[in-house]
Amino acid sequence: MVTGATSGIGAVTARDLARVGATVVIVGRDRGRCARQAESIAREAGSRAEILVADLSSQRQIRHAAEEFARRHSALDVLVNNAGSYFMRRELTEDGLEKTFAVNHLAPFLLTSLLLGALLASESARVVNVSSGAHERARMDFEDLQGASRYDRLEAYSRSKLANLLFTYELARRMEGSRVTANALDPGAVATNLGRDSAWLRVKLRNLFRRGLLSPEEGARTSVHLARSPEVEGVTGRYFRACREARSSGASYDRAAAERLWRVSEELTGLSRRGPAPERMAPGPA
């Protein structure tokens, strides 16, 4: 399953995985674009592609997508949480949550949590979270996690990418002893739709990464590597750049922050009220 798979590195990731024979589930918010992408994959890669339509800013739609997947399949081998957005001003979702935080962090947190049963049912499953080098400038501010007191668009984006890493590392710890691995990556500064509505944003991102923009094909390489390469079989709780393991920021290794973010995320997605299902969590080490 690849989220945000109708354009950019998500589309390339889905196509490249299909080319090696995977049945790819495309997740996107526009049914027409999802259908066209599935048709393109079938035509170019000669492999099966399915679609799940969901606006990842909506927890209701995320739940519906997870339920639909469970009706179709009993196991999931690879989940690539690729979808991400950058908002020029503070906006709220239908759940009353700040959109950058909701789409970039809470969506993959909730989707992954809902699919853990299917991941655990796989002989060997991988969760791949697309973060960003932008995380290096961020710190978690739990007193104003959603920018209600002060909203800065680049800060909000960078913080959400740091949250991706804290989530990845905590998930890896919680999955210890299972056959589910979790890793994150920086795709680089990719020429995708992230900045399509703002020339200012594209310049800002280029300056942030201090290198030229990559093509979607170049940007997708690390996602595909983590999704299918035998070199990373069993590797978990790591961060990759250009298909190689790298160090993320010091703040990303703050275990107390990761545990706190997990608790807050459970509360904001309603998972804490539901309570953990035994099949969703792996047993701890003996």
Question: Token pair for residue 273?
Answer: 């009220």
Question: Token pair for residue 73?
Answer: 């399949």
- Kindly name the residue from 157, 169, 239, 253 that is annotated as catalytic: 157
Determine whether 157 is an active site residue: yes
Number of CB atoms found within 10 A of residue 246's CB: 13
What does the angle CA 6 – CA 167 – CA 75 come to, to the nearest 5 degrees?
60
List CB contacts of 141: < 8 A, sequence separation 6 or more: 159
Per-residue CA distances from 55 to 5, 61, 78, 149, 225 (Å): 12, 6, 20, 26, 27
The b-or-e profile of 57-76 (16+ CB within 10 A means b, else e) is: bbbebbbebbebbeeebeeb
Yes or no: say if 82 and 37 are a contact pair by the CB < 8 Å rule: no
Question: Token pair for residue 218?
Answer: 């170049």
Residues annotated as catalytic (active site), given as ranges:
157
